[in-house]
Amino acid sequence: MKKIILAAIAALVFFNASAQGDKAGWREKIMAEKVAFISTELELTPEEAQVFWPVYNKAEAERNNLFKASRAAYKNLKEAIEQGAPEERIKALTKGFMEIQKKGPAIDSKYFEEYSKILSPEKMAKLILSEEKFRRTQIHKLGGNK
């Protein structure tokens, strides 16, 4: 039963990626792998999965938006320095960048509360560990398992 659910989730993500074209396809492929990986690691029941994944996807969307904002702030700060912007501008951009950086832990705390309504403490711990394990697996893939 669990394998059927995992396959269905992965297929939905994959078909969604195919519909969006090649440009977004690699992100969707990795997300499908992540969904399958986390589902396996957490051993989610069908009921838990039905409630968990919408919350998780919302958290991921917030993290992605924050990452985009962080990249934009970094780019603006870098350009300001390269162009010799006034000290006040650089100070404001630096402050803005640091404010964005503070938001990551706030998102994690917010969703920790949400997850605690859905998952047992053990599964919440497994979520933290599985996300890190998945991240490390992806890094090793990119590095060619050196």
pLDDT digits (tens, 9 = 90+) for 82-91: 999 999 999 9
- pTM across the whole model: 0.74
Average pLDDT value over all residues in the chain: 85
Q: How far apart are CA 51 and CA 104, in angstroms?
A: 23
Residue 44, token pair as written in the block: 């989610």
Mean pLDDT confidence for 31-45: 92
Instruction: Return the pLDDT at 24.
Output: 64
Task: Identify the weakest region by mean pLDDT among 21-30, 37-46, 52-61, 69-78.
Answer: 21-30
Q: How many domains does the chain contain in total? A: 1
118 — phi, psi (to 5°)?
-110, -45
State the residue range of the domain holding 20: 2-142
Residue 45 DSSP code: -
Which is nearest to 16 in space by CA: 29, 35, 6, 2? 29
Measured from the Cβ of residue 101, the count of other Cβ atoms closer than 10 Å reads: 14
